[in-house]
Chain A
Amino acid sequence: MKKTIVTCIVALALSSASFITQAKTPAELNDLEIAHVAYTADVIDIQYAHLALALTSSEQIKKFAKTMIRDHEAVNEQALALLSKLGATAQDNFLSQKLVSDSKEIINELSQLRGKAFDKRYAENELAYHKAVNGLVAGSFIPNIENKEVKALFEAGLRIFKSHENHAAMMVKNLK
């Protein structure tokens, strides 16, 4: 009986310890979790772009989608190269999971739209998505990243995604 109680207390202590170290806000993520979020965010935008290539007939949207695939793939290639150089692996976390579940809803919504309605929604989502991710990168990630090389890659990434945000804003305007 006594033994069981001790085991229970130990188990409880252990689980609460792991609960404490688990990040709950973006600012609490460690470098490897931040890298995972960024990688996931890139993959999601590539998925949106593939959906757009399949569903749009607008040349403007097609060109934009191809640029998203080309650029996000290039950034992820650099990120993987840096991680392997550092001998590290990105770590899954609450924010990556949230991004994935949100993106599933958006893909579901987008895949039911056609023509101008699709183009408009895709462009608006690209603008909102890049804005949100850029906000995270500038506000929560870059100030907290400890590794210098990882930080430099995020700074370069932010400049790229800012240009995507402007590009998306131009597209939204053109589609009005």
Chain B
Amino acid sequence: MMTSLQLSIASFLMLFITFTGLAQASETNVEEEAKAIEGTAHIIEIRDFVFSPISVEVKAGDTITWTNFDIVPHTATAIDHSWDSGSLKLGESFTYTVTDDMQLDYFCLFHPMMKANLALEK
């Protein structure tokens, strides 16, 4: 037999679970809506002097976020310098929104052997 204290704890827990469930459901909805409006968010890691993945398929409206995991600073810079992350230290990120006419080949200004590219889906 449950005491009234146990009962109230049980009902509190059930309420709590219901609320968290609701909150999660609405968060997912927001995320999905944002995705539909803003396009896909691509993540590129800079690690051990390599952009990874080295080639990413993108479309206009998508965002690309580069994050540096190396001790030394790097950049993500268009080969014609039309877009540039600036110096990214360890743990720093740069986000850029893809456009139809953007330069797709890029490199690191500090370590010019580091090259990578984007492929634009039309």
Contacts and interface: CB of A to CB of B under 8 A. Distances in A.
Interface of A: 63, 66-67, 70-71, 74-75, 78, 156-157, 159-160, 163, 166-167, 170
B71 interface: yes
* A contact patch SS: helix
Q: Which of A67, A75, A156, A163 has the most CB of B within 10 A?
A: A163
A71 B111 CA distance: 10
B12 interface: no
Contacts, number: 38
The 5 A-B pairs of least Cβ separation, nearest first, read A71-B72, A74-B72, A163-B49, A67-B110, A159-B48
B71 A160 contact: yes
21 contacts: A63-B110, A67-B111, A70-B73, A71-B72, A74-B89, A74-B90, A75-B71, A75-B72, A78-B71, A156-B70, A159-B48, A159-B49, A160-B49, A160-B71, A160-B72, A163-B111, A163-B114, A166-B113, A167-B112, A167-B113, A170-B113
